[in-house]
């Protein structure tokens, strides 16, 4: 679409046409070392009558904001939020605008390459030489075919992180089945945020993140989610924060440091790392003893004079439950003694503050308790999470207005090709024959989805087997996974294929580089990250032709499929290319047009997004209703609620989840956490097990400007890196003045952080923002294999070099925040 035909307001035209752009460039020139950007043609183009606006989706976090990408004479020069996309709502977070730096990154790989230096190491030059795509794909296909001929196809592994949908990560399942490997598509969710999902899987039957109705919420209790720094959907969170502040929503932040969110909240509770469960249990105790629970959702005593009294069990027969299960047993085994004074002893938070928080949370409706990696990235993370999520049931917020729901699926379509018709005998024989290399979903880790952090370790021990070949797609566990140097050892004798568009640590160990397009060059589709629950899908259209000889990852998988033997090749001939996958996706909208009129591929590309409001179900005063086209009026049966909303075996919110108490899972939990059998299901306080042997807790959160491990080579992020850390161009390890003095450390000193698994160096910032027993070094910098801007930023290695590989055993989530380290002046 031509920019001048597009409804373009004057302010935005001025911004895009350079009035603001010129100021931006001048600003950058003022920062030493960044002036070379001015020479980047991408940042200098001006909007003219030739400017084209393309709809796309941001890639710098998982939020999936809709983008308007401005391209003039073939150059992208500006990115804004797509005003038609409800999630971005025309706005972006500070990272969203930085796409041109990724597209025009001078360090990008220019085409496929092969390694010529057989030695692998941080300081080994891989000796990459360019090859053609045919040679690259034929090399991989020959290798994989040979593996298959040796009955060893299970030794081909694909690990991935940020996937989008059917045109990329969605291809893995079928690819693995047809080829004969259960390890194609091992996701990064166990280093990401599986903790919260598994808690929800257990208690309400949805293995998913929530959608939250912040706009209508009057009380928000956040446990260790970086609402204003990272928690998804970040851009929408910031917009919702503004609305919540304007209308007076009460906000409490539970954190282990004075984070940006804690500083901006009405109340902050600073807890000892991993002890959140005790706070949540005490809040539940107060809600029950004060009689503040939501009777329509939860139920009530059968006789009016009965009540919950501290220390006293109740007779289960005297309490009639509505949409919850096992509240009396939970009270009797746990909650009756979980007083605020007890929680103070564990968490360090004064009992009065816990009581005030509980009374506010219990008496202000609607209220939401949010939690993410803070409380869950600990050995006891599932139990912390269960105690927190239970609060949402106690105050009746499940599926209520101003409460929380789950994301609905979209009407997008798929290609009408059945992979079952293309399985050869070999593929059938291999199905289920070998466990995945990471052992997720096996008896070793029966409740997990992924265990990506164990791939390297398992390869080194040869158990369950050794890898032959690994391919990385948008994941870099050599930087982002725990005890990450193990990967450097493991990848020595593995054939490594890296698909990153630009240098990264795993590429340093690669035998082949098959560079992907950057996201601004790709055609891709995705469904929304949980937002407000109603279905939504988006499209990423190329804003420019590929700058270099790269290939979109989805097409790499499809082209490799075509080169495989037997019916597998026929299947991928049928699939053809990502264009077909995208067309089939959009065809699903023909019978179900979106609210914005999108009903085919052309209108999808024009608007960038398909969505349909409203969310179809709602709980009102303990009854569930379905939308009739005008209002929530169709009463839902218990079976309907169980099928669509509360998907547990009981169809209720389970305080003693059956998913925990079944024989296999109970034995697993008992083995790893030492919990007595009769307590396994109940949310109760389980002590965190700290790791690494040091005397200071190490917390490594994500910052607003850091896009996981992907933002290191964007110079602009270094200029505005982290105001609370007080610096540009590096991040600092925050340490309390007393802890610093005890170690002879002064502000800006060089320090060494060490644990049982490694050591790194960085600079210290002496700050009262952290407790005496805790240091904070964000996940940022310390890259040794990325581009020129990422090098030498003051941190000598990834913070994950000192974080041991220990997990929360239910979800398999790495207990990143359980690390304890030593800190000394260098």
Ligand X SMILES: Nc1nc2c(c(=O)[nH]1)N[C@H]1C(S)=C(S)[C@@H](COP(=O)(O)OP(=O)(O)OC[C@H]3O[C@@H](n4cnc5c(=O)[nH]c(N)nc54)[C@H](O)[C@@H]3O)O[C@H]1N2
Q: Which residues contact 491 (CB under 8 A, 6 or more apart)?
A: 120, 456, 470, 478, 506, 509
Q: Which is nearer to ligand X, 333 or 458 (by Cβ)?
A: 458
Per the DSSP assignment, residues forming a β-bridge with 620 are: 623
Structure tokens at 558: 């499809």
Q: In angstroms, give the least distance from the CB of 515 to ligand X.
A: 8
Q: Which of 702, 710, 754, 772 is nearest to 731 (CA)?
A: 702
93 binds ligand SF4 (CB under 6 A): yes
Other CB atoms within 10 A of residue 429 CB: 12
Q: Which is nearer to ligand SF4, 95 or 665 (by Cβ)?
A: 95
User: What does the per-residue mask of binding to ligand SF4 show for 6-45, with x meaning CB under 6 A?
Assistant: ----------------------------------------
Question: Residues for the chain: how many in total?
Answer: 826
Angle between helices 553-562 and 133-149 (to 10 degrees): 50
Residue 110 vs residues 157, 475, 521, 779, 791: alpha-carbon distances, Å: 25, 20, 14, 28, 20
714 binds ligand SF4 (CB under 6 A): no
Q: Which does 516 bind (CB under 5 to 8 A by kind): ligand X, ligand SF4, Mo ion, none?
A: ligand X
Q: Which of 49, 102, 42 is nearest to 78 (CA)?
A: 42
Q: Which of 28, 45, 61, 78 binds ligand SF4 (CB under 6 A)?
A: 61
Helix, strand, coil shares of the chain as percentages rounded to 5?
A: 35, 20, 45
Residue of minimal Cβ distance to Mo ion: 192
Q: In angstroms, give the least distance from the CB of 535 to ligand X.
A: 22
Q: Which is nearer to ligand SF4, 64 or 336 (by Cβ)?
A: 64
Q: Which of 192, 228, 408, 452 binds Mo ion (CB under 5 A)?
A: 192
254 binds ligand X (CB under 6 A): yes
Q: Which of 185, 273, 366, 657 binds ligand X (CB under 6 A)?
A: 273
User: What does the per-residue mask of binding to ligand X show for 151-190, with x meaning CB under 6 A?
Assistant: ----------x--------------------------x--
184 binds ligand SF4 (CB under 6 A): no
User: What does the per-residue mask of binding to Mo ion show for 381-420, with x meaning CB under 5 A?
Assistant: ----------------------------------------
User: What does the per-residue mask of binding to ligand SF4 show for 40-59, with x meaning CB under 6 A?
Assistant: ------------------x-
Q: In angstroms, give the least distance from the CB of 230 to ligand X.
A: 3
60 binds ligand SF4 (CB under 6 A): yes
801 binds ligand X (CB under 6 A): no
504 binds ligand X (CB under 6 A): yes
235 binds ligand SF4 (CB under 6 A): yes
Q: In angstroms, give the least distance from the CB of 284 to ligand X.
A: 16
**Alpha helices, DSSP H, located in 41-189:** 41-44, 99-103, 133-149, 172-179
Q: What is the 3-state secondary structure (H, E, C) of 209-264?
A: CEEECHHHCCEEEEECCCCCCCCCCHHHHHHHHHHHHHHCCEEEEEECCCCHHHHH
Q: Which is nearer to ligand X, 17 or 54 (by Cβ)?
A: 54
Q: Which is nearer to ligand SF4, 92 or 536 (by Cβ)?
A: 92
Give the C-alpha separation, 717 to 714, whole Å. Answer: 6
526 binds ligand SF4 (CB under 6 A): no
200 binds ligand X (CB under 6 A): no
372 binds ligand X (CB under 6 A): yes
156 contacts 468 by C-beta, under 8 angstroms: yes
61 binds Mo ion (CB under 5 A): no
Number of residues interacting with ligand X: please give it, by CB under 6 A. Answer: 62
92 binds ligand SF4 (CB under 6 A): yes
Residues 47-76 that bind ligand X (CB under 6 A): 61-62
518 binds ligand SF4 (CB under 6 A): no
114 contacts 131 by C-beta, under 8 angstroms: yes
Other CB atoms within 10 A of residue 678 CB: 12
Q: In angstroms, give the least distance from the CB of 381 to ligand X.
A: 9
Which DSSP symbol is given to 821?
Answer: E
Q: In angstroms, give the least distance from the CB of 423 to ligand X.
A: 28
Give the C-alpha separation, 135 to 139, whole Å. Answer: 6
Residue 156: what are its φ and ψ, rounded to 5°? Answer: -95, 125
Q: What is the 3-state secondary structure (H, E, C) of 475-520?
A: CCHHHHCCCCHHHHHHHHHCEEEECCCCCCHHHHCCCEECCCCCHH
Give the C-alpha separation, 307 to 321, whole Å. Answer: 14
Q: In angstroms, give the least distance from the CB of 392 to ligand SF4.
A: 24
Residue 242, exposed/middle/buried by CB under 10 A (0-12, 13-18, 19+)? exposed
Q: Which residue in the block uniquely carries the two structure tokens 């490997």?
A: 181
Q: Which does 254 bind (CB under 5 to 8 A by kind): ligand SF4, ligand X, Mo ion, none?
A: ligand X
Q: Which is nearer to ligand X, 656 or 711 (by Cβ)?
A: 711
193 binds ligand X (CB under 6 A): yes
Q: Which is nearer to ligand X, 191 or 298 (by Cβ)?
A: 191
Residues 432-491 that bind ligand X (CB under 6 A): 473-477, 479-480
Q: Which residue in the block uniquely carries the two structure tokens 């539970």?
A: 254
Which DSSP symbol is given to 720?
Answer: T
Q: Which does 257 bind (CB under 5 to 8 A by kind): ligand SF4, Mo ion, ligand X, none?
A: ligand X
Q: How far is CA 817 from the centre of its chain?
A: 16
Q: In angstroms, give the least distance from the CB of 199 to ligand SF4.
A: 24
Q: Which of 475, 433, 427 is nearest to 453 (CA)?
A: 475
Q: Which does 235 bind (CB under 5 to 8 A by kind): ligand SF4, ligand X, Mo ion, none?
A: ligand SF4
228 binds ligand SF4 (CB under 6 A): no
501 binds ligand X (CB under 6 A): yes
Sheet holding 609-611, edge to edge: 524-527, 536-540, 609-611
543 binds ligand SF4 (CB under 6 A): no
Give the C-alpha separation, 393 to 289, whole Å. Answer: 16
703 binds Mo ion (CB under 5 A): no
**DSSP structure string for 254-306:** EESS--HHHHHSSEEEE--TT-HHHHHHHHHHHHHHTT-S-HHHHEEESSTT-
Q: Which of 234, 371, 406, 509 binds ligand SF4 (CB under 6 A)?
A: 234
Q: Which residues contribute to the site for ligand X (CB under 6 A)? A: 61-62, 161, 188, 191-193, 223-226, 229-232, 234, 254-257, 259, 271, 273-274, 276, 372-375, 378, 473-477, 479-480, 499-502, 504, 516, 518-519, 553, 699-702, 704, 706-710, 779, 799-800, 803, 816-817
Q: Which residues contribute to the site for ligand SF4 (CB under 6 A)? A: 58, 60-61, 63-65, 92-93, 95-96, 234-235
């Amino acid at each position: 679409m031509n920019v001048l035909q597009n409804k373009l307001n004057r302010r935005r035209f001025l911004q895009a046409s350079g009035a603001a752009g010129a100021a931006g460039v001048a600003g950058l020139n003022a920062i030493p070392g960044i002036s070379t950007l001015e020479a980047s043609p991408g940042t200098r183009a001006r909007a003219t009558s030739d400017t084209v606006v393309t709809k796309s989706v941001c890639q710098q976090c998982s939020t999936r904001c809709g983008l308007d990408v401005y391209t003039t004479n073939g150059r992208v020069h500006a990115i804004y939020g797509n005003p038609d996309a409800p999630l971005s709502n025309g706005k972006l977070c500070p990272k969203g605008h930085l796409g041109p730096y990724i597209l025009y990154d001078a360090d990008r790989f220019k085409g496929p390459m092969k390694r010529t230096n057989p030695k692998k190491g941080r300081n080994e030059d891989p000796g990459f030489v360019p090859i053609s795509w045919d040679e690259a794909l034929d090399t991989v296909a020959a290798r994989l075919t040979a593996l298959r001929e040796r009955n060893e196809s299970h030794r081909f592994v694909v690990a991935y992180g940020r996937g989008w949908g059917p045109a990329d990560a969605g291809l893995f399942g079928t690819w693995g089945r047809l080829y004969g490997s259960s390890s194609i598509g091992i996701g990064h969710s166990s280093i990401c945020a599986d903790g919260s999902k598994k808690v929800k899987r257990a208690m309400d039957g949805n293995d998913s993140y929530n959608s939250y109705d912040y706009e209508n919420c009057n009380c928000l209790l956040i446990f260790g989610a970086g609402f204003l720094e990272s928690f998804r959907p970040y851009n929408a969170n910031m917009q919702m924060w503004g609305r919540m502040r304007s209308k007076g929503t009460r906000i409490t932040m539970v954190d282990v440091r004075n984070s940006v969110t804690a500083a901006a909240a009405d109340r902050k509770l600073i807890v000892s790392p991993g002890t959140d469960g005790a706070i949540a249990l005490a809040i539940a105790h107060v809600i029950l003893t004060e009689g503040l629970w939501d009777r329509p959702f939860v139920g009530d005593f059968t006789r009016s004079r009965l009540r919950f009294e501290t220390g006293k069990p109740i007779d289960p027969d005297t309490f009639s439950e509505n949409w919850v299960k096992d509240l009396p047993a939970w009270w009797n085994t746990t909650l009756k003694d979980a007083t605020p004074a007890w929680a103070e002893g564990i968490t360090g938070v004064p009992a009065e503050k816990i009581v005030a928080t509980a009374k506010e949370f219990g008496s202000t409706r609607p209220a939401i308790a949010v939690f993410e990696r803070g409380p869950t990235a600990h050995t006891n993370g599932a139990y912390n999470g269960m105690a927190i999520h239970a609060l949402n049931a106690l105050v009746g917020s499940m599926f209520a207005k101003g409460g929380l729901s789950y994301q609905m699926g979209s009407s997008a379509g798929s290609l009408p090709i059945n992979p079952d018709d293309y399985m050869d005998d070999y593929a059938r024989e291999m199905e289920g024959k070998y466990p995945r290399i990471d052992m997720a979903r096996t008896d070793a880790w029966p409740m997990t989805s992924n265990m990506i952090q164990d791939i390297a370790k398992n390869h080194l021990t040869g158990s369950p087997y050794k890898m032959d070949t690994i391919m990385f797609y948008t994941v870099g566990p050599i930087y982002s996974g725990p005890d990450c140097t193990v990967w450097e050892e493991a990848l020595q004798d593995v054939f490594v294929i890296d698909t990153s568009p630009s240098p990264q640590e795993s590429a340093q160990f690669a035998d082949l580089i098959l560079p992907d397009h950057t996201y601004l060059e790709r055609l891709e589709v995705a469904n929304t990250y949980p937002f407000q629950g109603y279905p939504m899908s988006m499209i990423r259209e190329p804003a420019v032709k590929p700058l270099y000889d790269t290939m979109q990852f989805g097409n790499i998988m499809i082209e490799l499929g075509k080169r495989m033997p037997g019916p597998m090749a026929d299947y991928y001939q049928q699939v053809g290319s990502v264009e077909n996958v995208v067309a089939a996706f959009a065809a699903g909208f023909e019978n179900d047009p979106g609210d914005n009129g999108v009903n085919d591929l052309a209108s999808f590309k024009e608007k960038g997004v398909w969505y349909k409001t409203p969310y179809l179900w709602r709980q009102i005063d303990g009854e569930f209703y379905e939308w009739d086209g005008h209002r929530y009026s169709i009463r839902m049966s218990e079976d309907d609620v169980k099928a669509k909303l509360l998907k547990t075996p009981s169809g209720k919110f389970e305080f003693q989840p059956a998913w925990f108490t079944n024989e296999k899972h109970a034995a697993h939990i008992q083995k790893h956490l030492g919990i007595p059998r009769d307590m396994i299901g109940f949310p109760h306080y389980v002590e965190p097990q700290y790791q690494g042997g040091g005397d200071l807790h190490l917390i490594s959160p994500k910052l607003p400007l850091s896009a996981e491990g992907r933002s290191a080579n964007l110079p602009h992020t270094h200029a505005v890196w982290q105001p609370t850390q007080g610096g540009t161009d590096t991040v600092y390890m925050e340490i309390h003045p007393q802890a610093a003095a005890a170690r002879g450390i002064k502000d800006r000193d060089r320090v060494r952080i060490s644990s049982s698994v490694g050591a790194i160096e960085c600079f210290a910032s002496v700050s009262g923002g952290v407790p005496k027993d805790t240091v904070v070094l964000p996940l940022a910098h310390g890259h040794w294999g990325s581009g020129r801007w990422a090098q030498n930023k003051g941190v000598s290695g990834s913070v994950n070099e000192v974080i041991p590989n220990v997990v929360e055993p239910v979800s398999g989530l790495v207990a990143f925040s359980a690390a304890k380290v030593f800190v000394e002046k260098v």
